[in-house]
């Protein structure tokens, strides 16, 4: 595996974790904790976006 493949897998895993955190916030927790889970899930999307942008440049 080269560095681009590692970044692609990291992006894919972070998108899955972000989706699961947003789903937890939306469907499991109805109070203020749900907003926190959703915010962290959006943060995972932002980091995955950076990883995707780094492919081919590192």
The pLDDT tens digits along the chain (58 residues) read: 888 899 899 999 999 999 999 999 999 988 899 999 999 999 999 999 998 888 878 7
Q: pLDDT value at position 30?
A: 83
Q: What is the pLDDT of residue 52?
A: 87
Q: What is the pLDDT of residue 58?
A: 72
Report the pLDDT value the prediction gives residue 3, as an integer from 0 to 100: 87
Q: How far apart are CA 55 and CA 47, in angstroms?
A: 13
Q: What pLDDT score does 24 carry?
A: 94
51 HSE (CA, 13 A, CB side): 19
Between CA 33 and CA 29, with CA 43 as vertex, the angle to 5 degrees is: 20
């Amino acid at each position: 595996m080269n560095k681009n493949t590692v970044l692609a897998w990291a992006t894919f895993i972070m998108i899955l974790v972000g989706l699961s955190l947003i789903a937890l916030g939306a469907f499991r927790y109805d109070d203020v904790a749900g907003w926190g889970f959703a915010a962290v899930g959006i943060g995972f999307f932002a980091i995955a976006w950076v990883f995707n942008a780094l492919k081919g440049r590192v």
